[in-house]
Amino acid sequence: MAERNRPSSGKREGKSRASNTDNKKGLRSGRHQNADNRRRDRELSSENFSKKRTEGSEEDKPSGEFHKKKTRPDFRKKKKVESQANVEKRVEKEGIRLNKFIANAGICSRRDADKHIVAGSVTVNGKVVDSMGYRVMPNEEVKFDGTTIQSEKKVYLVLNKPKNFITTIDDTHGRRTVMDLLGGVGKERIYPVGRLDRNTTGVLMFTNDGEMTKRLTHPQYGVKKMYHVSLDSKLTQADLEKILEGVHLDDGTVFVDSLSYVNNAPKNEIGIEIHSGKNRVVRRIFESFGYEVTKLDRVTFASLTKKNIARGQWRFLTEEEVNFMKML
């Protein structure tokens, strides 16, 4: 028993203490290295902020530029997308699936269209078609519950939204909506992709492509947005650091992709990149630290900018832009 309770040799204890000391040094070194990495990332900051913001219209340019920041490369496999001309040629030759034809006509989703097809609610050239795999050719007549329907032409456009417009199709209180700004678009029914609140300005996309809308707004795809934020007071370096670490809101934690001061501007001018789709998320992030957002302008949405679009004006997307959005 005496031998069992005998203390270990000083030599072994000394080795243990040295090992512990080395471990502590390693931990401190790791923490310092992580802090240095974060500091270096902040100094590089967001190159996209300065690049995309300067592409905006002259009247929307900020007093400075955003810093550059490294971002993690996107290793997701990009799917190949046909050009619109090739799609039209293929449809003319092979036809289009009946459920997609119904969905493109704005009647319902593809899943609901399958149910209506099985129920016998759809006729092609006067005959009931209950096969979901049926392909509709361009010269065939399709009726849904006795009414002839046509597949709508896909429309894609971007608006530079001004203040005091509601992002909705209509408003029961008689307030102006973003739809009031879209005169001359055409007969197709289009809808805003996502939302900007009444006092937020900037990039807002519209389309009647339901599949693209879902892809651009679903959290799974993490589509990024950039904002130029004006605060009622200077953002402290300490608060900037805390925001970059993640912000706990009532509906969950939000992680910012990048955050920086605007070059050659007061410290209350901030650039922020974020992929969260939570309601009023940018305003709530700063409000949680005691700041009030006095001005909020969306600089980019996915790959879209306000370049050459005056406030309150819009333009159609190019074929290249549409193809790129389909690959996101």
145 catalytic residue (yes or no): no
Nearest alpha carbon to residue 154 among 79, 205, 204, 223: 205
* Backbone phi, psi, residue 233, to 5°: -150, 170
**Distance from C-alpha of 142 to C-alpha of 150, rounded to nearest angstrom:** 7
Q: E strands, the chain, where?
A: 45-46, 68-69, 96-97, 122-124, 127-128, 135-136, 142-144, 147-149, 156-161, 191-192, 200-207, 225-231, 247-249, 252-254, 258-261, 269-274, 293-301, 314-316
Measure the CA–CA gap between 56 and 305, rounded to whole angstroms. 7
Q: For the purposes of burial, counting CB atoms within 10 Å of the CB of 240, is it exposed (0-12), middle (13-18) or buried (19 or more)?
A: middle
Task: Collapse the DSSP code of 216 into the 3-class scheme (helix H, G, I; strand E, B; otherwise coil) and give the result.
Answer: helix
In three-state secondary structure terms, 130 is: coil
Catalytic residue among 22, 171, 197, 232: 197
In whole angstroms, what is the distance from residue 239 CA to residue 162 CA?
Answer: 30
Where does residue 44 fall: left (phi above 0), alpha (psi -120 to 50 degrees), or beta otherwise?
alpha
Q: Please, are residues 49 and 62 in contact by the beta-carbon 8 Å criterion?
A: no
Q: Tokens for 163?
A: 């203040």
Q: Which residues are catalytic?
A: 197
